Amino acid sequence: GASFGTGMERVIVAMQDPDMGMKMRNQRLLITVIPHAMTGNDVIEWLIQKYNITEEEARHLGGLLVQYGYIYPLREPRSLLLRSDDSPYRFQTPYFWTSSRWPATELDYAIYLAKKNIRKQGELVDYEKENYSILHKRINHTWDFVVMQAREQLRASKQRRKADRIVLECQEQAYWLINKPCVNMPLYYHYTTLGRNRVKSSICLESFMKYSEQYLHHDPIMSGCLPSNPWISDDTSHWTINTDMVGIPTRLRVERWSFSFMELLNDSMGRREFMIYLEKEFSAENLCFWVACEDLRHGESSKIILKVEEVYKNFLAPGAARWVNIDSKTMERTLEGIKRPHRFIMDDAQMHIYFLMKKYSYPRYLKSELYKNMLAKAIVPQETKKSVFPFMRRQRHSSPSPAMVTQATEDDGKAKGAGPTGTSSTTNSQI
Amino acid sequence: MCDQTFLAITFGPCDSCSENRPLMNLYIKTEPINYCSLCMEIMACQGLASGETLKSLKAESETLRKKLEEERKKLHDVELEKVAEKAEALGELNMKTRRTLKGHGNKVLCMDWCKDKRRIVSSSQDGKVIVWDAFTTNKEHAVTMPTTWVMACAYAPSGCAIACGGLDNKCSVYPLSLDKDENLAAKKKSVAMHTNYLSGCTFTNSDMQILTSSGDGTSALWDVESGQLLQSFHGHSADVLTLDLAPSETGNTFVSGGSDKKANVWDLRSGQNVQSFDTHDSDINCVKYYPSGDAFASASDDSTCRLFDLRADREVSIYSKDSIMFGAASVDFSLSGRLLFAGYNDYTINVWDVLKGTRVAILFGHENRVSSLRVSPDGTAFCSGSWDNTLRVRQEGRGVGRELKQGGTTLYG
């Protein structure tokens, strides 16, 4: 869009004004000195001064400048964040400005990837390797040109000063991180989708039949609900007997836990019961691990590194208090990945443990005394008949706002509302 | 303006076409020249392999496409209606409006339920976003956005915040303050930034991440705390109008629908488009997952709703009638997935039997287009928002599956 682009560009131009702009200096990057660079702190300070804004707003604005590629980081180029410390940044050359550029062409991108590939074997990361082979198929007719250009550009860059070369590489890399060409690749897509495993219609459609039958009595619109539908009777009993903290659950609710493992975990009471069962079986660490991984996946970006460390310490380190038993291959991969933590780093391990619980612990739980007792003592509410005087409306009571309830029981920074049931669910990993 | 380090010209007249454009350094026999992107493409294509032309590549694409259709057809061994013949017929649906929420001064564009099953957030054309306790019909919070046409709003899973946006191209999060006098707008947090209008937004499994769809043709995943873009999803060739998160075990995908008539399924982690469906004849206004996560329904301007099965990788049912000529704007399933509620531009709501493909009921009451429709989290009611400035909560009186109960007594207990 033109409007915000030119707005950001005005800021960038102002930042580079020879008199009122930012004071730039040489920044050290390992052993090379990069000229005309600034620190993240400098950027924020300058924005605060120039526009008379708060630090929070300056951080947000600065962050956008990085996200949209007008400023790029020299250290950790893949992390497009503006750090308010002495991390070095540089202005992107106008050729690479998001707004002035044509939509990144496949040709440009192919040349860039070819250069990277020629310069150093194994330099391309996963998605780049994939894109490289897609492009090789797709614009195969231009490949001689691509390789030639890549070679020539590399040769010319060798003749530049090292500092200039590093800067150019950083500029290019920053640009392509943001501007990966659009995924509109019919040929490649068709090749992959042809190979996909598809299920016969009859099997899929049977599953719809089964599902609606299984959930029939749980669907208030299909079967009504007990003791009455609150929207009709103005009586909220149906909700109060189904809260998280209720002493004795309803029969329908406990039955639903047997429909699928996901149903059991989605209900905070079901999850608590399952945890009690696992403790008896001395395998509670599995569920704790799963909960901690969910918290990592859905939590704040800023807490990722901390949470990964915690998970490693509690569940994966040799001799950990709650060590989880995952296969050696997955463990190896996970431990390797922890060196560069991100929010999906535990996915493989989490899935392994999830399917372990689903296959072994869950069916045993459903056969256990614990579950059977729960089912036996679960209540079946009496249906409330419609009032004799239908024109007398009950008073509709208000309920405490979820915001109020959660503020009173504010936890120690665990992802707010994490977990499918959300409201006041206590998904702490130290149960 | 040039970069201070390089003398290379980055903007100026192209050596080939003389137009003023951003320039790329090209090397022809080691001589550097400056071409614009267009001329560079033309030059590159002059090296086409013999026999290959753009035409032949297109033909290859078409052949593959046909092959794909054949493969899909082979596995389609039965129609849904046939399988559903043995399903019990539904009784008469008797849905009444139980609550009418009045308070918006203009068209209601979007609404979402809170997980507490009774609160609702709604947004409208005049920029107002209201949080209601729909049960008592009390308004609990109200925010005036600095923009009109707030097309998207969502309730956070914890119930402590809401997200909304529209023509401002942003998605902002407002923590819900309990202090009645406090100005909600003061705590507003700008999270998402698109380059065109925001059409949809939803929190993922926690308050910490938001998924957005936009008129700029992309969807994106954001970290709420820092406003950082975590992943972007490119593939639609026009506005993305709607999205829905999958309720699957591994919780890793979502589906989006667009003005390009396509419904695309995406992997949240990698940003890849993993499946695509393009059988609609017009814009897809709404997509919703079937409760099991194995399928999703769509509502389109072509006046039909359709069901797409993800494992069969095809459309499996179409919900349409000759008498329905206006576009469908919004859909949602009842809890068991047996019923599909759809709101239309002709002011009505049609209720479909998902399995049999027949219409079970038509609901009147709104005095203008139905723009948004959602079943409550526990399935006890559904709410519709309309251009007539109101929201209506409706419920079935006796349970439409009542035919299935033996002699009026309940089957369980």
Q: pTM here?
A: 0.70
Given CB atoms, is A182 within the 8 Å cutoff of chain B?
Answer: yes
- CB within 8 Å: A225 and B380: yes
Identify any residues that bridge with B298 across adjacent strands, giving them in sequence order: B287, B306
Given CB atoms, is A384 within the 8 Å cutoff of chain B?
Answer: no
- CB within 8 Å: B80 and A399: no
- CB within 8 Å: A238 and B380: yes
Q: Measuring CA to CA, which residue among A78, A70, A71 is closest to residue A99?
A: A70
Contacts of A381 (CB under 8 A, 6+ apart): A226, A227, A237, A238, A241, A250
Q: Measuring CA to CA, which residue among B333, B173, B131 is closest to residue B247?
A: B333
- CB within 8 Å: B159 and A198: no
Average pLDDT value for residue range A320-347: 90
Structure tokens at A110: 């192919």
Structure tokens at B175: 């923590």
**How many Å apart are CA B224 and CA B227, to the nearest integer?**
5
Dihedral pair phi/psi, residue A379, rounded to 5°: -95, 150
Q: How confident is the model at residue A393 (pLDDT cuts 50, 70, 90)?
A: low
The more confidently predicted of residues A31 and A146 is: A146
- Give the residue from B26, B53, B72, B396 with the most A CB atoms within 10 Å of its CB, the best one to mutate: B396
Looking at every residue in chain A, the average pLDDT score rounds to: 80
Given CB atoms, is A159 within the 8 Å cutoff of chain B?
Answer: no
Which of A53-57, A263-267, A368-372 is predicted least confidently?
A: A53-57
Count Cα neighbours of A108 within 13 Å in the Cβ-side half-sphere.
24
Question: What is the distance of C-alpha A417 from the center of its chain?
Answer: 15
Sheet (strand B349-353) strand order: B328-333, B339-344, B349-353, B359-363
Sheet (strand B284-289) strand order: B284-289, B295-300, B305-309, B314-319
Q: What angle do CA B76, B243, B228 make, to 5 degrees?
A: 135
Predicted local confidence at residue A81, as pLDDT: 85
- The answer to whether A131 and A180 have CB atoms below 8 angstroms apart is yes
Q: How far is B219 from chain A (nearest CA, A)?
A: 13
- Give contacts of A402 with chain B, Cβ < 8 Å: 114-116, 119, 158-160
State pLDDT tens for residues A61-109.
888 888 777 888 888 777 778 888 888 888 876 656 655 544 456 777 8
Q: How far is A330 from chain B (nearest CA, A)?
A: 17
End-to-end CA distance of chain A: 49
Over its C-alpha atoms, chain A yields an Rg (Å, rounded) of 29
- CB within 8 Å: A242 and B378: yes
- The answer to whether A300 and B225 have CB atoms below 8 angstroms apart is yes
Average pLDDT value for residue range B33-58: 59
Output the 3-class SS for B86-143. HCCCCCCCCEEEEEEEECCCCCEEEEEECCCCCEEEEEECCCEEEEEECCCCEEEEEE
Q: How far is A280 from chain B (nearest CA, A)?
A: 25
Query: Residues 96..155 of B with a Cβ closer than 8 Å to A: which?
Result: 98-99, 114-119, 133, 135-136, 138, 140
Q: How confident is the model at residue B328 (pLDDT cuts 50, 70, 90)?
A: very high
Average pLDDT value for residue range B360-364: 93
Kindly tell me if the per-residue pLDDT of A135 is higher than 60: yes
Predicted local confidence at residue A274, as pLDDT: 97
- Give contacts of A204 with chain B, Cβ < 8 Å: 294-295, 309, 311-312, 316
User: What was the ipTM of the complex prediction?
Assistant: 0.80
- The answer to whether B277 and B284 have CB atoms below 8 angstroms apart is no
Given CB atoms, is A410 within the 8 Å cutoff of chain B?
Answer: no
Average pLDDT value for residue range A216-243: 92
Looking at every residue in chain B, the average pLDDT score rounds to: 85
Strand B339-344 to strand B328-333: parallel, antiparallel, or no bridges (unpaired)?
Answer: antiparallel
- CB within 8 Å: B1 and A127: no
Predicted local confidence at residue B61, as pLDDT: 63
Identify any residues that bridge with B23 across adjacent strands, giving them in sequence order: B36
Kindly tell me if the per-residue pLDDT of B264 is higher than 60: yes
Given CB atoms, is A240 within the 8 Å cutoff of chain B?
Answer: no
Task: Give the nearest partner residue to A187 out of B60, B190, B400, using CB atoms.
Answer: B60
**How many Å apart are CA A293 and CA A312, to the nearest integer?**
11
Q: Measuring CA to CA, which residue among A223, A250, A222 is closest to residue A237?
A: A250
Which of B10-19, B264-273, B373-382, B384-393 is predicted least confidently?
A: B10-19
Predicted local confidence at residue B28, as pLDDT: 64
Predicted local confidence at residue A161, as pLDDT: 77
Q: Angle between the B37-45 and A143-158 helix axes, to the nearest 10 degrees?
A: 120
Count Cα neighbours of A229 within 13 Å in the Cβ-side half-sphere.
26
Which of A133-137, B120-124, B304-308 is predicted least confidently?
A: A133-137
Average pLDDT value for residue range A243-250: 91
- Give contacts of B341 with chain A, Cβ < 8 Å: none
- Give contacts of A221 with chain B, Cβ < 8 Å: 334-335, 339, 375, 379-380, 382, 395-396, 399-400
**How many Å apart are CA B347 and CA B330, to the nearest integer?**
12
CA distances from B280 to A23, B182, B328 (A): 56, 47, 12
Q: What angle do CA B41, B46, B52 make, to 5 degrees?
A: 105
Residue A348: closest CA among chain B residues belongs to which residue? B250
Residue A420: closest CA among chain B residues belongs to which residue? B205
- CB within 8 Å: B291 and A215: yes
Contacts of A309 (CB under 8 A, 6+ apart): A341
End-to-end CA distance of chain B: 79
The more confidently predicted of residues B81 and A73 is: A73
The more confidently predicted of residues A391 and B366 is: B366
Between chain A and chain B, how many beta carbons pairs sit less than 8 Å apart? 380
Identify any residues that bridge with B175 across adjacent strands, giving them in sequence order: B161
Element (H, E) at B316: strand B314-319
**How many Å apart are CA B395 and CA B213, to the nearest integer?**
30
Kindly tell me if the per-residue pLDDT of A420 is higher than 80: no
- Give contacts of A187 with chain B, Cβ < 8 Å: 57, 60-61, 64
Question: What is the distance of C-alpha A74 from the center of its chain?
Answer: 25
Q: How far is A284 from chain B (nearest CA, A)?
A: 20
Predicted local confidence at residue B46, as pLDDT: 58
State pLDDT tens for residues A403-418.
776 554 444 344 444 4
**How many Å apart are CA B112 and CA B155, to the nearest integer?**
6
| DSSP secondary structure of A83-96 | -SSS-EEEEPPGGG
CA distances from A184 to A102, B221, B276, B393 (A): 16, 20, 12, 42
Given CB atoms, is A186 within the 8 Å cutoff of chain B?
Answer: yes
Considering A25-39, A233-247, A278-292, B391-405, the range whose residues carry the highest mean pLDDT is A278-292
Predicted local confidence at residue A179, as pLDDT: 64
